[in-house]
Amino acid sequence: MTMHCRQMTPALGAEITGVDITDLDNQTFDAIYESFNKHSVVVIRDQHLTPEQHVAFSRRFGKLMIHVLKDELLEEHPEIYKLSNVVKDGKAQGRPNAGQYWHSDLTYEETPSKGSVMHALEVPESGGDTMFSHTAAAYEGLSDAMKAFLEEKTAIHEFRHAYEKFTKRIPGTVPIPEEAFAARPPVEHPVIRTHPETGRKCLFVNPGFTVRIKELSFDESDAVLEHLYRHMTKPQYFYRHSWQTRDVVLWDNRSLMHCAVGDYAPEQRRHMHRTTIMDSDAV
Q: 200-243, pLDDT tens digit by residue?
A: 999 999 999 999 999 999 999 999 999 999 999 999 999 999 99
Q: 89-101 burial, b if ≥16 CB within 10 A, otherwise e?
A: eeebbbbbbbbbb
pLDDT class of 124 with cuts at 50, 70, 90: very high
Single-letter amino acid code for the residue at 143: S
pLDDT class of 157 with cuts at 50, 70, 90: very high
Stated pTM of the model: 0.95
For residue 245, list its beta bridge partners.
Answer: none
Q: Which of 103, 193, 212, 254 is catalytic?
A: 103
| 283 has pLDDT over 50 | no
Q: What is the largest CA-CA distance in the chain?
A: 57
Q: 18-59, pLDDT tens digit by residue?
A: 999 999 999 999 999 999 999 999 999 999 999 999 999 999
pLDDT class of 1 with cuts at 50, 70, 90: low
Q: Which of 195, 212, 258, 270 is catalytic?
A: 258
Single-letter amino acid code for the residue at 15: E
The CB-side HSE value for 112 (13 A sphere, CA atoms) comes to: 29
Single-letter amino acid code for the residue at 27: Q
Q: How many helices (H) and strands (E) are present in the chain, helices listed first? A: 7, 18
Instruction: Set out the domains of the chain in order of their start, with CATH numbers.
Output: 4-278 (3.60.130.10)
Give φ, ψ of 96 to 5 degrees.
-80, 160
Q: Which of 161, 254, 274, 279 is catalytic?
A: 274
Q: Are 130 and 105 in contact, with CB atoms under 8 Å apart? A: no
Q: Which of 39, 54, 95, 105 is catalytic?
A: 105
For residue 202, list its beta bridge partners.
Answer: 193
Which of 59, 172, 171, 69 lies closest to 115 in space, CA to CA? 59
What is the model's pLDDT at position 144? 98
- 261: three-class secondary structure by DSSP: coil
Active site (annotated) includes residue 103: yes
Give φ, ψ of 73 to 5 degrees.
-95, 150
Active site (annotated) includes residue 77: no
Single-letter amino acid code for the residue at 84: S
Active site (annotated) includes residue 252: no
